[in-house]
Each structure stands twice: as structure tokens, then as C-alpha cells.
Amino acid sequence: MSAVLSEHLAYLDTLRESDTAVAGIVDRPRAAGVVRLLHLNSPEHDKINDDTLRALGRYRRVTDRLLFQTLRPGERSAVFDSASPPNREHYKPRSHSIHFFYLNAGQSGNESILRVEVPEWVAGEARLLDLAHSAIVEQCRVTSGFPYVLMRAHELAVVTGAERGEFDQMIAGAMIRRGITPRISQKAMGKLWTVSTAAFSSTRTA
């Protein structure tokens, strides 16, 4: 387990002990976990495997966001348990298993479907779950469907190169465990070349 993940789980321990309604937001989510539940009813049970679930069959063009477009402003979906390997391997043993629901945080005619992720101790406590839900809706009233406090945080946050590198390693490790070969895009490679060239030039100049 990486140092960043260990520190993150320790923060979640503190938040749980302080009875805090913590939640994470995914804007414009592209996940299809709930759609895969629907897909489970399509193929014969003896033909269900990782490949058939990943392909999604007749649901291949459908995402959870599209599925929950019918939510009215302020409404949320049912709460689901994430089936991701990192969730089972790292979060669940610490009783922080990640759950999620979809929420229409926009207004009529300007819907904004967000994926909201909460630890199991928030998902299992109606008072905390409702508090997280209502706080997000309230924060989105003055924006275009994204919490104002997070918009400000994005403006002020600074991510160092070392932090970004460790995060990339975590993603690559998760992909490898699922049999996916991580590849860097040409755009990202160009940035790496630019940064490396600049660093080399600075070293030569010094």
C-alpha cells in the first residue's frame, strides 16, 4: 500500500470518529457499473465473465449517467457498493468501503448528473447520507450544477509532480491487476518530453 493511500485511509478514520458526512464528487461520470447490473440479466449465467461484462452487449453505448437522466432536480438514485478491486483490497478491510449514488444537482432544463461517492459508514447512516446529499444540492444552487466549494478548491489546489507521479503509479497498478496494459497518450508523452527538456536545460545552465 502506498504512503498516499495509507495517509488517506487514516484521514477517513478521523472523519468517521468525528461523525462527519464526507463525500466525493465525480463530474460528468462515464462509469457503467449500474448498467452492468442490468447486463447481468442478459447473457446466460454460464457465459458471464469479465469480458462479457466489460463489453456490455446491447448496453455498450449506455452509461450510468445516461441511465439516471430521468432523476428530477435534487433527486438521488439508490446507493450502490463499488465492485472495484482497490475498494475490496484496501478500503473494505478498514470499514471504508466506497459506495455511490447518482444525484441530479442541476435545475429543470439544466440537469447535472453527478456521481457521489461516500464511505460505508455514511452510506449506512441515513442522517449522514441525507446531510451529504442536501449539502451538495445547496452548494450547487449558485453554480451550474457543481459544488461551489469544490470549484474554489480546484482553483487553489496545487498538485506537485511527485504527487502526480505516485497517483499515476496507483492507477497503472490497478490497471495491471485487471489485465489492462497502461499506455501513455501522445499528448502526455509530449508534456513529459517538454518537462524533461526544460529540466535538462536548467541543469546545463546551472
Position with higher pLDDT, 42 vs 107: 107
Contact 130, 105 (CB under 8 A): no
Closest to 83 measured CA to CA, from 190, 178, 182: 178
CA distance 138 to 143: 10
pLDDT at 39: 78
Percent composition of the chain: helix, strand, coil (DSSP 3-state, to 5): 55, 10, 35
Closest to 15 measured CA to CA, from 94, 84, 105, 115: 94
Contact 80, 34 (CB under 8 A): yes
pLDDT at 59: 79
Query: Residue 19: CB partners within 8 Å, gap ≥ 6?
Result: 128
| Selection from 42-51, 63-72, 140-149, 175-184 with the highest mean pLDDT | 63-72
CA distance 186 to 128: 43
Position with higher pLDDT, 202 vs 18: 18
Position with higher pLDDT, 25 vs 198: 25
Q: What is the largest CA-CA distance in the chain?
A: 66
Closest to 114 measured CA to CA, from 86, 151, 81, 77: 77
pLDDT-based confidence at 117, cuts 50/70/90?
very high
pLDDT at 195 > cutoff 60: no
DSSP 71-134: PPTT-B---EE---HHIIIIIGGGT--EEEEEEE-SBTTB--EEEEEEEHHHHT-HHHHHHHHH
Average pLDDT across the chain, whole number: 83
Query: Residue 109: CB partners within 8 Å, gap ≥ 6?
Result: none
- pLDDT, tens only, 142-181: 887 888 888 888 777 767 777 778 878 888 887 787 777 7
| Selection from 51-65, 79-93, 151-165 with the highest mean pLDDT | 79-93
pLDDT at 186 > cutoff 60: no
pLDDT at 2: 79
Phi-psi region of 51 (alpha: psi -120 to 50; beta: other; left: phi over 0): alpha
pLDDT-based confidence at 203, cuts 50/70/90?
very low
pLDDT at 90 > cutoff 80: yes
Q: b/e per residue, 129-138, with b = 16+ CB within 10 A? A: beebbeebbe
Cell of 8: 488517506
